[in-house]
Amino acid sequence: MDISSLKQQFTAELAAAASEAELRALRDKYLARKGGLVSALLKHVASAPADVRPALGRQANELKQHIDAQVGERLAEASARRPAADAVDVTLPGRDPLIGHRHPLTLLRDRIESFFLRQGFLIVEGPELEDDYHNFEALNMPAEHPARDMQDTLYLASPVTSATGTPATLLRTHTSGMQVRYMERYPPPVRLIAPGRVYRRDNLDLTHTPMFTQVEGLVVGDDVTLADLKGTLVAFAHDLFGPDRGTRFRPSFFPYTEPSAELDITCASCGGSGCAMCKQTGWVEVLGSGMVHPAVFEAVGYDPERYTGFAFGVGIERLALLKWGVEDIRLFYENDLRFLEQFPL
């Protein structure tokens, strides 16, 4: 058999070889030292006439190299395709580490605290059991004040010892008592937020729970203005709801602030055109605020002529409803893991 037909035969057989075993057999068939077709050819060359021997030898060697290279290439390809014996199935599920979730209210509280920390506020915490003085009286709400109706109070059956000295008689309806305590203790300037759980005698429904979480803020100094309050709260709303949200600062009433203001943002469900969510106004209420009433300063021994200040209070649950579209506030206290796990860690 001549060299070129041998080469053609190899080419055909190489194309037909599918497995690595077939490729190795093919290489042996041609190149095996004993009985290989090309080995036999080379032996035959040795006995060829001297004038054709060099050319024949060169061609036979070229064929040998060709076959070796071709089979080698195909074997490399096949081996690259073959999975290792100890290969893993990368598509099977991984082993999840145990990791819990922050409660969404904590998530939001952390976020709010982080905003105010960036603006230089201090975080203070205080007791949940309060006395009437710190919860109401010092805040310009004496007994029989009609504004006490705004905060229906849960009272203790009998007074309980409190860390602050005076016996506690009620569950705090806001964290303002903490602000009063802080002002009683420290002179201005004051720049703080007081986050915590507060309690009101509200029946459970879509927007009420008898316990909820509040963040109140207080800034007092020589030079604090209503415009400063507006600037701070608008920045806060933009931090929480995005810089494109419309904001509105509007007069309101609280006994402990004068002037008082509420902050509204444009309604997310209708974008401001009016819908059932926003009672057709295009706006939803976010928080209450105002300039600290001089009577509050007088109660804590600050000179209301010298100092001015602002205060605000916001329910974290309400912010969560607005921010995440939660439809039922009770979900925050049912602790259904299917709900809790929806929020980012």
Partner 1 sequence: MKLPYRWLQELVAVPDGVDAVAAKLGLRGFEVASVEQGAEPVIDFDITANRPDCLSVLGLAREASAAYALPLRQPDRSMPAAGPAPSLEVSLEEADLCPRYCAHAFEVLALGGSPEWMRVRLEAAGVRSINAVVDVTNYVMLEMGQPTHAFDLARLRSGALVIRRARSGERMRTLDGIERALEPDMLVIADGERAQAVGGVMGGAESEIGAGTRVMVLESACFKPASVRRTSKRLGLKTEASTRFERGADINAAPAAIARAAALFDQIGAARPLGGLIDRYPKPQPPIRLRLRGDRIARVLGVSVADGDVPAILGPLGFEVRTTPDAVHSAATERSEAPAFRAPSITARTPDAPRPSPFALPTWDVTVPTFRVDVLREIDLIEEIARHDGYVGLPATFPRLTAPQPPPDPRTLRDRTIKQVLIASGLSEAMTFAFVERAAALPFARETDPAALANPLSEKYAVLRPSLLPGLIDAAAYNRRRERRDVRLFETGARFTRDGENRAVAAVWSGAAAIPHWSGGARGVDFYDVKGVVETLCRTLAVEIAFEPASRPYFVDGRAAEVIVRRKADAAGAARGARPVDSGVSRKIAGEVGQITASALEARGFPANEDVFAFELDVDAIAALQPSGDVRAESLPRFPSVVRDLSILVDAVLPAASVRGTIRSSAPPTLVHIVEFDRYRGKGVPEDRVSLSLRMTFRSPERTLTDAEVDDGMERIVAALASAHNAVRR
Give the contacts of 28 (CB within 8 A, at least 6 positions apart). Answer: 36
| CB of 98 vs partner 1, minimal distance in Å | 3
Is 195 within 8 Å of 214 (Cβ atoms)? yes
Q: Of 32 and 270, which has the nearer Cβ to Zn ion?
A: 270
Q: How many residues bind Zn ion (CB under 5 A)?
A: 6
Under rule CB under 8 A, which residues in 212-251 are in contact with partner 1? 213, 219, 221-228, 230-232, 234-235, 249-251
Q: Quick one: which of 132, 284, 312 has its CA closest to 216? A: 312
Partner from partner 1, Zn ion, none binding residue 207, C-beta < 5-8 Å depending on class: none
Residue 151, CA distances (Å) to 53, 154, 192, 338 in order:
113, 9, 23, 33
Q: Tell me which of partner 1, Zn ion, none is bound by residue 109, counting a contact when its beta carbon lies within the kind-specific cut-off of 5 to 8 angstroms.
A: none
Give me the least distance between CB of 184 and partner 1, in Å please.
15
Interacting positions 278-297 with Zn ion (CB under 5 A) = 278
Smallest gap, in angstroms, from Cβ of residue 322 to Zn ion?
11
Of 180, 261, 272, give the one whose Cα is nearest residue 220. 180
31, 154, 275, 340: residue in contact with Zn ion (rule CB under 5 A):
275
State phi, psi for 125 to the nearest 5 degrees: -130, 150
Tokens encoding 144: 């029989």
Angstrom distance (rounded) from CA 287 to CA 214: 10
Contact 105, 317 (CB under 8 A): yes
Which of 56, 178, 267, 314 touches Zn ion (CB under 5 A)?
A: 267
Q: What is d(CA 231, CA 224) in angstroms, rounded to the nearest whole number?
A: 11
> At residue 155, what is the residue type?
Y
Whichever of 30 and 236 has its CB closer to partner 1, that residue is 236
Distance in Å, CB of 117 to partner 1, minimum: 9
Q: Which window, 2-10, 53-61, 72-80, 332-340, contacts partner 1 (CB under 8 A)?
A: 332-340
Report the nearest approach of Zn ion to the CB of residue 276 (Å). 7
Using the contact rule CB under 8 A, the part of the chain among 11-19, 22-30, 48-56, 331-339 near partner 1 is: 331-339
- State which of positions 245-264 bind partner 1 (CB under 8 A): 249-253, 255, 258-261
Does 332 help bind partner 1 (rule: CB under 8 A)?
yes
Q: Which of 6, 300, 45, 315 is nearest to 175 (CA)?
A: 315
Q: Could you give the 3-state DSSP secondary structure of residue 105? A: helix
**10 or 310: CB nearest partner 1:** 310
